[in-house]
Structures are given as C-alpha cells and as structure tokens.
C-alpha cells in the first residue's frame, strides 16, 4: 500500500519560496539544472530528514519544473514520499543493485535522468565541496556536452537568511538546548561518570522542551573536562567527574534538522583565579559582540567587537567567533571573523561561538545562538549566561 | 602546559601492526606516502576519535617513518596528542586562518608537508571517495610531479579483519546494543511519545553495559513505527506509540569508535498474520545465513543462504544482507550480497542486516553483528532473537 504524507514542519508555499530563490540564482549562473547533493540543502529544499545520505542521492532542481525531483535509493523512497512536500511522482528510487557495486552507483541514475529530461547539453550546477572526487569526475565524463558549473554554496547562501517560520523552529530548538544545559548543571557532580551525564543530556535533547521533542539526529555533544579543557571536540571520557574539575560543554537541540548551539563552562568547586578572569573577559566580549549585531553591520564588526574587548584583558582568541548556523549545525558560508565583510541582514542566524582554547590543557567556552533582528539582536538560547559553579 | 596522554584503548604495538599492513600495501602500489583523510581510517591507525573531521585533516603515512604524522586544525591538536599513540612531535596543527578561508585550507598544509619531507615527486596515495572534488583537484594541481594513486579502500580493506583486541571491544559494544534493545522493550508502550523512548535508548547507549560506558558519538538510531515501517532511515516521529503499532528499531552501541549494530521488530499487541509470517521466514533465513558463515565461504554464500530460504516462503529481499562492520558503522568494502566473492576469514566482522522493506508502508527488521570464527560464526549481539510483543 502507498505510504501517507507525514506531518509537515513547513507549508508547501515555504518550500516553493526557497526553490524560487534557488532558481533565481540558477538563471544568473545560466544553468538549467542544479544537482543538490548536500544532505542539509536537500532538507532545506524538501523537508527530508532521513539518514540516507551515506549513499548517493540528489535533488534535481530544473528551471523548467515547479517541483524538484528527488533521486535516492529505492528503500529510502517511501521516507521521501512521507517527509517531503513534493508529489510522489517526483520521488525516484534507484535500484538496490547500485549499492556496493564497484562500477555504478546512484549518481549514474541522476545522470541518466538529466539526459532523459533533455538537459545533457545545458548548464548543470554541482555542489563540488560535498561531492566526492569520483562522483564529480563521473558527471564530467558521462555528460561531456554539459557545461558543468561549480554551485557549491548557491543553496547554502540562500539558507543564511531564515524565514519567520524557520526562526520559530530555531526558537524551539534553542529551548531544548537550554533544557539540556540546565539538566547538565543538575547532574554533574564529583564521582558521577561522564557517560551518565551524557545519558541525561541525550535524554533532555530527545525529550525536548515546552512539549516539543527533539527531532532527528542530534549534533555531537562535546564534554571536555580537565585535563581536556584545551580541546574542543572530544566527546566525553570513561572517567568520573572529580572535585576541582572544570567541564566545557557544547551541545545543541534540534527541531526538524535545525540546530541551536550553546556552550557553557562548569566548575566543580570554586573556579581557579585564571578561569574566573577568563570568564569575566569573555562575558564582556560576548556582550560587546552582541551589541555590534544589527542590520548593516558586518560579520567582521561582530568578531572585532569581541576581539578588541578581550584584548583589553590580555586575552586573544585564535579561532573565528562563530558561523552561520541552522540546518545541520554549521552553514559553510559567513564566519564571524575579522575580514569577513558579509553584511548582516534581518533573520540571519549565527552561532556566536566564543570557545577559546588557550593552552593545550586549558580552555574556556561560552556561546549563544542569535538572530539578527530588525534593529539589533535576538539571542535565541537563554540558559543563564554564567560560569556554573557546582 | 602540555596535555597528558589519555588512557589508550589499544597498545602501541597494535597500531604499529595496523600501520605495517598499510605500508605493505603502499609498497605494492609503489607509493611513498598515503594521505589518510577518512575519519574512520584515522581512528583505526591512531586511536583518534574527536569530532573534528568536518574541516580538512589528514594522517600522512610515510614509508620512510615508523609513526605517521597527523595534520589537523590547531585547536584540535591537543586532542590528537591526548588520544593517539604517537609522539607529540607527530601532531601538526595548522593555523586557524585556514578555517573559513575562501582560497586556502588545511589540505594546503598537508601538501606543503609532502614537499617538506621530499616526496613531492613520488607516488602519493589519496582516498578519493571521501575526499571532495575540490580537495582532490588541489593535490593534483599543487603536486604536479607526484604520481597520484587512488588508494580509496587500502586501509578500509585492512580494517575488515579485526585483531582479537578489536573483537573484545566489539563484544563490549554489542553488549551495549543488547542493553539498549532491552530498554526499548521495557519502555515502548501505547501513549508514550517516541521521543521519550529515544531518550531512554540514548541513555542506555551512553550508560553502557558491564561497567563499560558507550564512548564517542553514537550512530543514528532509526525508530520507524507504523505507518513508517516500510522506511529504514527515519529517526523517529513526534507522535506517541499506538495500540496495534509495529516498530522497527535499528541502533548500535559504540566503544572507542567500534559499533555493533542490531535491529529488532516490536509489536504493540498481537502482530498481524502477515508480520508473523514474515518474521518466521526471516528467522529461518537468519539461521541459514549464520550456518553458512565459516572461513572459506564467501559473502555471496551467506547472502544466498538467506535469500534461498526466504524465497521458499514467497519472500524476497531487494537490498544486500549486510556489510563489513566496525569503526563508524559501515565499512565500504565487502557486502553480504549475491556475487560478492570476498572470502570469509577469521575475525572478519559483519552486520548481518536483514531489514526487508517490502511495501511502501510495511517492512520488517532483524539483524545481528557477527564475527567469522575459526570454525563457524560467533554472534556478538545477544538480545533475544524474537518479534517483541509488548
């Protein structure tokens, strides 16, 4: 029997608006078909969130059709029918024989489709950063008359400005992030295993907040405790928490693929003088960065407001101060860093990520997810902005 | 201050053995340096499990050095010093200025390093499937005198045969998988939100089993309930479980990056006649497949033992019957499918994945993680092999 359409997070008009923006860019670049292979861009343009992107799949956006065509593994086609806004005849499953096949794969089906719709000798856009070298080569070889155009960030740049509907979803995700931070503060105690705290954090991320559960895969949770506070990306250890330990935590709630990242630092017992000093400088820097957020400012302005402030305290942060943020965590477009002249516009969203890994064995983290508001900033994450002393 | 070495999951000799196997393949292919960019291959060769692979990083294995050199983002270098077996001078952090930089990235540092060690005009192996088209192009352009060789699956094929130490770790992971399945069976009830069950499953995956917690990021948990049982990869829904619903669950415990996948099907109330019939056929097929596992058999033999058995019951499975399994879930080498003539050898490990998505709105799942034993099979996952009636 046919699978039904599932509940949709966004109305059809929202997806058509996103597609219209993509098509407008396609016209500008003189391409007739855009092959969207980036998992998060597919989510953005269709609502699809199933975890099937570990095998080839692609959304083909044609200038000549209102709805795109989603070509994916046959066994995942029912999920696409269920989750996306498109008509079911826009979902094409390719045969299982293309899985684990040394000579052909799902991209061959995508290429066949481009030929079938008569676009084999037109401009074809590819997302080259995410596409493997082998796949990109296949498009060139099998579509020799096409004009292949690198469209790596075409959809990603559209994603940076959210609609009000997307902002609502990110507010829901941020409330989940806050709940998970508060749960961590309740359960991090000396003698407790880090894994048991992770269990509680994962539970909070799934249970959600305000009656809205976490949906779809969670981003990585990083729990870096002494002596690992100088590292940003270790998951957690097998050890227990100890008196006097510092814990740097980064996590994010998710709704419909949209993340809202947050970082907080915890101290079991009184923080060291050094930690307290860094915390105070970073808090002042955070306020300065948020004050710099308004339409017309640049990403560089925000980063430099932070950098100038902490430099007054004798501190320095090597890494960027954040990045465009939304579906799938990091949007690889604008960075909050010196020299990034991207102009802030209303409803752009960023993870203001002020993690500062100062020494090999000492770092500090704080971050917020924010939206550029019409006349300033709206901070979406709302957990207490403090150094948690437990 | 310098960060200390963390507890190591494997002794140095184990990593040197793995590297020796890689170097032997490198000699055969006449390459002097292998650029390992696949996250899971890096874990395999070094013990590194931090979540930093979303920006460029690579392990350079040189024929002329005992230890490899790990080149990664500066902020992640302390994690590499802490987690890997190598001396600290084998870890090179590239500057933060290469992050979010439109013209250069961490691969430029890798290429510079190849030149510095005098190998710019020698054979250089790349893992082309995982490497983006842009990155692969850069290696070709910036190392014009090198002989670039596609070494996509060189390390992955070595990984397929585990050491006894790795098997011990996979047994630990499998015990966690079992615990999570049993927890699901306790908490799936009508009226309970799917997200609340996911919270319990995530908790079980973190808390672990037998005093060994889950470590590092979990693989996706798929919880596909009616009417989504014909789909394999939907995470979960926002809905509650209902009387009469069927639930297909796939999950995997993780220890030190090693997964042990398991699938079980649950029915709230008595299963339908169709579900019971499919279950019985699949169980018989599962037994037949396991009976076919022994050194000297092929992957094809195992798949066909399953396929022949269920065909007697009028069933058919389109997708492959499993795949090599270990670090990071799927190892992209051997598949348990008709025609895959990979010969089974002791200590190869597979996820015997018998999920069968029969109609758009009806499927059934069962799976086990197994090891090829000296004279047959050892099934690592041990949760009751049944259709769970709740």
A110 and A144 housed in the same domain: yes
- B207 pLDDT above the threshold of 90: yes
**CB neighbours of residue A370 within 10 Å:** 25
CA distance A114 to A68: 12
Residue where one domain finishes, among candidates B104, B130, B157: B157
Q: Are residues A333 and A352 in the same domain?
A: yes
Point out the residue among A81, A202, A335 whose CB comes nearest to the CB of B360: A81
The answer as to whether B5 is a domain residue is: no
Please report, for the domain that includes residue A271, its CATH number: 3.90.230.10
Minimum-distance CB partner of B360 among A78, A195, A330? A78
- Does residue A188 sit within a domain? yes
For residue A338, give its domain range. Answer: 164-389
**How many structural domains is chain A composed of?**
2
| H or E element that contains A43 | helix A39-46
Q: What is the reported pLDDT for B129? A: 80
Is A360 in Cβ contact with B2 (below 8 Å)?
yes
Residues B298, B343 contacting (CB under 8 angstroms): yes
Is A222 in Cβ contact with B206 (below 8 Å)?
no
- Residues A199, B203: C-beta atoms closer than 8 Å: yes
Report the residue of B7, B98, B132 to disrupt the A interface, i.e. the one with the largest count of A CBs within 10 Å.
B132
Residue A6 located in a structural domain: no
In a shared domain, residues A345 and A378: yes
Mean predicted confidence (pLDDT) in B353-377? 97
Let me know: does A271 contact A279? Beta carbons within 8 Å. yes
Verify that A153 and A170 share a domain, yes or no: no
CA distance A204 to A188: 14
Task: Give CA–CA dist A67/B189, Å, rounded.
Answer: 39
Condensed to tens digits (0 to 9), the pLDDT of residues B15-26 reads 999 999 999 999
Same domain, A135 and A223: no
Q: Is the ipTM of this complex over 0.85?
A: yes
Q: Based on the domain organization, do B92 and B184 belong to the same domain?
A: no
Q: Are residues A173 and A146 in the same domain?
A: no
pLDDT of residue B131: 87
* CA–CA distances in Å: residue B125 to residues B105, B114, B145: 19, 11, 13
Shortest distance between the Cα of A217 and any Cα of chain B, in A, equals 6
Boundary residue ending a domain (B118, B137, B157): B157
Identify the band that residue B100 occupies on the pLDDT scale cut at 50, 70 and 90.
confident
**Cβ atoms of residues B206 and A197 within 8 Å:** no
Please name which of B241, B237, B255, B260 lies closest in space to residue B185, comparing C-alpha atoms.
B241
Q: Are B70 and B91 in contact (CB under 8 A)?
A: yes
Within-domain flag for B28? yes
Structure tokens at A216: 């779809």
DSSP string, B337-357: STT--PBP-TTBEEEEE--EE
A207-220 in b/e form (b: 16+ CB < 10 A) is bbbeebbbbbbbbb
Measure A65 CA to nearest chain B CA, in Å. Answer: 26
- The C-alpha of B23 sits at a distance from chain A's nearest C-alpha, in angstroms, of 24
Non-local (6+) Cβ contacts of B167 within 8 A are B347, B349, B371
Yes or no, beta carbons of B2 and A215 under 8 Å apart:
no
Is there a domain that residue B70 lies in? yes
Reported as a single tens digit per residue, the pLDDT across B247-306 is 999 999 999 999 999 999 999 999 999 999 999 999 999 999 999 999 999 999 999 999
B149 and B111 in a common domain? yes
Rounded CA separation B290/A132 (Å): 35
List chain A pLDDT tens, one digit each, 390 residues: 899 999 999 999 999 999 999 999 999 999 999 999 999 999 999 999 999 999 999 999 999 999 999 999 999 999 999 999 999 999 999 999 998 788 999 999 999 999 999 999 999 999 988 888 889 999 999 999 999 999 999 999 999 999 999 999 999 999 999 999 999 999 999 999 999 999 999 999 999 999 999 998 888 899 999 999 999 999 999 999 999 999 999 999 999 999 999 999 999 999 999 999 999 999 999 999 999 999 999 999 999 999 999 999 999 999 999 999 999 999 999 999 999 999 999 999 999 999 999 999 999 999 999 999 999 999 999 999 999 999
Residue in A closest to B320 by C-alpha: A96
**Which chain A residue has the Cα nearest residue B130?**
A132
Taking contacts as CB-CB distances below 8 angstroms, the residues of chain A near B362 are 1
Phi then psi for residue B296, to 5 deg, are 100, -30
Q: What is the pLDDT of residue A217?
A: 80
Tell me the mean pLDDT in the region B366-374.
98
- pLDDT tens per residue across span B158-205: 999 999 999 999 999 999 999 999 999 999 999 999 999 999 999 999
Strands A376-379 and A322-326: unpaired
Has residue A202 been placed in a domain? yes
Q: Tell me how many residue pairs between chain A and chain B have CB atoms under 8 A apart.
A: 234
Nearest CA in chain B to A132: B132
Instruction: Provide the pLDDT for residue B101.
Output: 85
User: What percent of chain B stands above pLDDT 90?
Assistant: 94
Q: CATH number of the domain that B61 lies in? A: 3.40.350.10
Q: Give the CA angle between residues B326, B328, B334 to the nearest 5°.
A: 50
Judge whether A2 lies within some domain.
no
Distances (CA, A) of A54 to A37, A99, A326, A380, B130: 11, 11, 21, 31, 11
The last residue of a domain, from among A93, A123, A158: A158
Which of B4, B83, B136 is opposite residue A133, by nearest beta carbon? Answer: B136
Burial class (CB in 10 A: 0-12, 13-18, 19+), A87: exposed
Question: Which tokens is B135 given?
Answer: 């990155």
As a whole number of angstroms, the distance between CA A28 and CA B248 comes to: 46
Say if the Cβ atoms of B361 and A81 lie within 8 Å. Answer: no
In a domain, B4, yes or no: no
Q: What is the pLDDT of residue B1?
A: 80
Cα(A1)–Cα(B272) distance, integer angstroms: 15
Answer yes or no: do B51 and B175 share one domain: no
User: What DSSP designation does B238 have?
Assistant: S
To test the contact with chain A by mutation, choose from B40, B53, B79, B176 the residue with the greatest count of A C-beta atoms within 10 A, namely B79
Chain B: give the shortest CA distance to residue A301, in Å. Answer: 16
For residues A175 and A154, membership in a common domain is answered with: no
Cα atoms in the 13 Å half-sphere on the side-chain side of B65: 18
Flag whether pLDDT at B110 surpasses 90: yes
**Residue A135: which H helix or E strand, with range?**
helix A133-142
Q: Check residue A130 and give its pLDDT.
A: 80
Looking at the fold, whether A149 and A176 belong to one and the same domain comes out as no
User: CB-hemisphere CA count at 13 Å for B218?
Assistant: 32
Distance CA B68, CA B78 (A): 16
Predicted confidence at residue A125, as pLDDT, reads 97
Are A302 and A338 a contacting pair, CB within 8 Å?
Answer: no
Domain co-membership, B359 together with B216:
yes
Quote the tokens at residue B380: 């690592």
H helix intervals, chain B? 12-28, 39-46, 77-83, 106-116, 133-142, 154-159, 164-187, 194-207, 273-291, 299-312
């Amino acid at each position: 029997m046919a699978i039904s359409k599932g509940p949709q997070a966004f109305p059809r008009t929202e997806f058509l608006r996103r597609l219209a923006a993509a098509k407008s860019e396609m016209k500008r670049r003189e391409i007739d078909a855009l092959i969207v292979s980036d998992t998060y861009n597919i989510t953005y343009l269709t609502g699809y969130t199933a975890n099937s992107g570990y095998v080839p799949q692609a959304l083909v956006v044609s200038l000549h059709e209102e709805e795109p065509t989603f070509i994916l593994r046959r066994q995942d086609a029912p999920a696409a029918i269920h989750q996306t806004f498109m008509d079911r005849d826009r979902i094409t499953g390719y045969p299982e024989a293309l899985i684990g096949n040394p000579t052909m794969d799902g991209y061959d089906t995508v290429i066949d489709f481009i030929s079938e719709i008569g676009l084999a000798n037109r401009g074809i856009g590819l997302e080259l950063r995410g596409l493997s070298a082998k796949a990109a080569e296949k498009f060139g070889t099998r579509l020799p008359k096409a004009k292949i155009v690198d469209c790596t960030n075409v959809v990603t740049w559209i994603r940076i400005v959210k609609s009000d509907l997307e902002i609502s979803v990110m507010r829901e995700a941020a409330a989940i992030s806050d709940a998970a931070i508060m749960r961590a503060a309740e359960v991090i105690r000396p003698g407790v295993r880090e894994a048991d705290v992770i269990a509680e954090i994962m539970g909070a991320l799934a249970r959600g907040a305000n009656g809205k559960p976490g949906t779809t895969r969670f981003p990585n949770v990083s729990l870096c405790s002494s002596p690992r506070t100088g590292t940003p990306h270790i998951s957690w250890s097998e050890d227990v928490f100890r008196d006097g330990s510092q814990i740097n935590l980064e996590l994010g709630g998710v709704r419909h693929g949209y993340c809202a990242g947050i970082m907080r630092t915890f101290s079991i017992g009184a923080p060291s003088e050094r930690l307290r000093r860094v915390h105070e400088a970073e808090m002042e820097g955070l306020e300065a960065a948020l004050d710099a957020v308004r339409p017309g400012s640049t990403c560089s302005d925000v980063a430099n407001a932070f950098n100038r402030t902490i430099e007054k305290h004798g501190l320095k942060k090597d890494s960027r101060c954040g990045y465009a943020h939304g579906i799938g965590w990091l949007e690889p477009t604008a960075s909050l860093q010196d020299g990034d002249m991207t102009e802030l516009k209303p409803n752009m969203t960023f993870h203001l990520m002020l993690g500062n890994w100062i020494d090999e064995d000492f770092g500090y983290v704080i971050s917020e997810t924010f939206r550029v508001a019409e006349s300033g900033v709206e901070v979406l994450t709302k957990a207490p902005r403090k150094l948690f002393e437990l």
